[in-house]
């Protein structure tokens, strides 16, 4: 099981600051976050913030690195089972991805907006993507090609398939407040909503793959 509870350390003050900072940064972004608010939320004096982490940027970098490794683990470790059918593979990808986002609902918005508004800080993230995504996409493409030749599915582009899956899985979380305004109470029962989208998105993708 992966760590979805955030960052931990041995020191309780340090811990409290880290937890408060994660919340502040994830919900407000780097520019909107305030070190005074973080210290206050952590229940420590503001000087403690600087004592443990020196600067706002350093603490932000530490948290974004933690999130990057979390993402890497969730996205690029699909425990490739050579024997799994294309249908099983797709289902596993969708379910894991959606479970991961459900456990980290603020992460997509945080990553997309920080990567966009910032260049230096997000280079680490983008270089990780550049490194790992092509491998994952090639593996999936081979699997699709083999299944297509055996007549089990259509010959689709793995890159478009992953773009479809991530779009369908992630967008609801990024736009949650707007969806709730458009469709009253849609995400009110969160568990139910996730379960529904899992089925729905799997169905959508499988129809696309069907010969």
d(CA 118, CA 140): 31
Q: How far is the CB of 132 from its own copies (least distance, A)?
A: 9
Q: Is there a contact between 38 and 50 (Cβ–Cβ < 8 Å)?
A: no
Q: How far is the CB of 178 from its own copies (least distance, A)?
A: 6
Give the residue from 4, 1, 50 showing the smallest Cα distance to 21. Answer: 50
Only segment of 33-41, 76-84, 107-115, 172-180 that touches DNA (CB under 7 A): 33-41
Between 34 and 53, how does the x/- string for binding to DNA read (CB under 7 A)?
A: xxx-------xxxxx-xx--
Size of the site for DNA (CB under 7 A): 18
d(CA 30, CA 181): 27
CA 94 distance to own-chain centroid: 12
Give the residue from 78, 79, 76, 69 showing the smallest Cα distance to 6. Answer: 69
62 binds DNA (CB under 7 A): no
Q: How far is the CB of 79 from its own copies (least distance, A)?
A: 20
d(CA 188, CA 206): 27
Binding interface with its own copies (CB under 8 A)? 27-29, 31-32, 109, 111-113, 115-117, 122, 126-127, 129-130, 133-134, 137, 159-160, 163-164, 166-168, 170-172, 174-175, 177-179, 181-184, 186, 200, 203-204, 207-208, 210
């Amino acid at each position: 099981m992966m760590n979805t509870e955030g960052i931990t350390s041995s020191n309780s003050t340090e811990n409290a600051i880290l937890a408060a900072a994660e919340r502040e940064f994830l919900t407000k972004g780097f520019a909107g976050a305030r070190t005074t608010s973080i210290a206050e939320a952590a229940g420590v004096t503001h000087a403690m913030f600087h004592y443990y982490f020196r600067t706002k940027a350093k603490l932000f970098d530490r948290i974004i690195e933690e999130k990057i490794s979390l993402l890497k683990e969730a996205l690029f470790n699909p425990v490739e089972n050579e024997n799994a059918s294309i249908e099983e593979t797709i289902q596993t990808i969708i379910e894991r991805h959606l479970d991961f986002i459900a456990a980290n609902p603020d992460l997509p918005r945080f990553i997309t907006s920080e990567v966009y508004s910032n260049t230096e800080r997000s280079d680490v993230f983008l270089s990780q993507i550049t490194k790992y995504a092509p491998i994952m996409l090639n593996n999936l493409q081979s699997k699709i090609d083999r299944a297509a030749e055996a007549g089990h599915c259509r010959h689709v582009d793995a890159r478009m398939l992953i773009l479809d899956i991530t779009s369908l899985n992630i967008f609801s979380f990024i736009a949650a407040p707007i969806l709730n305004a458009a469709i009253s109470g849609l995400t009110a029962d969160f568990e139910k909503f996730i379960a529904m989208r899992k089925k729905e998105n799997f169905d959508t993708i499988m129809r696309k793959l069907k010969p």
